[in-house]
Amino acid sequence: MLKKIKKFLILIVIIIILLLILKIFKFENIILKKMYPIDYSEFVYKYSEQYNVDPLLIFSLIKAESNFNETVISSSKAMGLMQLMDSTAQQVAKNINIEYNNDTTLYNPEDNIQIGIKYLSELMEYYNQNYILALAAYNAGIGNVNNWINKGIINEDGSNAENIPFKETNNYVRKILNYYKIYQKLYIEG
């Protein structure tokens, strides 16, 4: 009888520990979802579907670029959520019939997200849906990425992206890929 009680108590303790672990895990997910939000999701999902780009990749890019601050301007004058350069944004906006105003368009979350997703989708198409190379080009430009491929610095499949010679671009791609894994874990697996 004493052995049965002991086994029962051990089982109860194990159950309590498991429940605590589950509670902590859910709490951890709540905290992580605050750190890795899906703000502006109505626009991200709409245009990700329209331009065939994974929305979780877009959230990862926005987190890395602006941390969801729609009014941020970089030292290189990239603007808004997806940190678009004015000249690039004007060309993309023209191609998708968005009326472009230099003073306001890139600070409008919907316009910025639509233009940014369309631009990334064009880069992905150019690089045969390889989002690693597309991200590198989003940051450093197609010319630089093509040059690195032509010189054998990085592979055409992006499998050795750790060799990207621009430190900023190398860190940028790594950061987004890390965020992308977190977003997938939180919003697909979690």
> What is the mean pLDDT for each group of 10 consecutive residues in the chain (190 residues)?
79 78 68 94 98 98 98 95 97 95 94 98 98 98 98 95 96 98 88
Residue 24: per-residue pLDDT? 63
Q: For residues 184 and 179, what is the distance between their CA atoms, to the nearest angstrom?
A: 9
CA dihedral (76, 176, 132, 50) positive or negative: negative
Residue 190: per-residue pLDDT? 55
Amino acid at 14: I
Tokens representing residue 184 in the block: 């997938």
Provide the whole-model pTM. Answer: 0.86
Tokens representing residue 114 in the block: 């639509």
- Whether the CB-CB separation of 118 and 51 falls below 8 Å is answered with yes
Catalytic residues: 65
Tokens representing residue 106 in the block: 């890139």
Q: For residues 102 and 55, what is the distance between their CA atoms, to the nearest angstrom?
A: 26
> Where are the chain's structural domains?
1-35, 37-189
Give the class (CATH, top level) of 37-189: mainly alpha
Residue 51: per-residue pLDDT? 98
Residue 14: per-residue pLDDT? 85
